[in-house]
Chain A
């Protein structure tokens, strides 16, 4: 499983054996969610379509900051698609929403940026 970079987002996809309704439970029942993604428990839900789509505001971690110390705002979307085999194709899109904040500034440190590591949107 690999995460790709697309525009301002990290996109991770995987195939699950379980059907979308079961995956939906693992995403929405707090006790189940806490077992694999405790960060998301209690975060603000922005969109929910049962068994299909769930979007919430990502609670930024301490290190999710730009050079001015402002929090990098981001949003996570889970897209569930049933497969012919009865499983689920899960797509996770984690997108920075406040990207304009991080480029209009001078970072304090001079970092060497590996351009090759990023895949620009076409």
Chain B
């Protein structure tokens, strides 16, 4: 099964660094490689994983390929997380009041 989990995809520090560099501008694999101490096949593997979850986009120009980040692919999840990070502490405060009012 393909790993399509965006959080897990970004859990790898090198992959996250690749994604963050591509957030700044579009790059070819060789340009990307210049900033990392890993092989080109390894970079390509990270790019494939990022493309697999929609976080990176490829553009072909002749025999060259360029990559750019699609950070908006994270937006629905970020919104969800923000919403429930606020929701749960509020609800647990209410729970504390319910517990106080309960009979022993």
Contact = CB atoms under 8 A, between A and B. Distances in A.
Q: Do A and B bind?
A: yes
Interface of A: 1-5, 7-8, 10, 12, 14, 16-18, 22-23, 25-26, 32, 35-37, 63-67, 72, 74, 90, 92, 94, 96, 99-100, 102-107, 109-115, 117-118, 120-122
Contact of A96 (B11, B77, B91): B77
B75 A121 contact: no
B16 interface: yes
Q: How large is the interface on B (under 10, 10 to 19, 20 to 34, 35 or more residues)?
A: 35 or more
**Which 4 residue pairs spanning A and B have beta carbons closest together?**
A100-B4, A111-B75, A36-B94, A12-B88
Given A5-B81, A22-B102, A94 B88 contact: yes
A59 to B, nearest CB: 13
A60 to B, nearest CB: 10
B85 to A, nearest CB: 4
B38 interface: no
Contacts of B96: 14, 16
B91 A103 contact: no
B99 A102 contact: no
Given A3-B89, A23-B99, A103 B4 contact: yes
Contacts of B81: 5, 10, 117-118
Interface string B85-98: 11011011111111
A107 B72 contact: yes
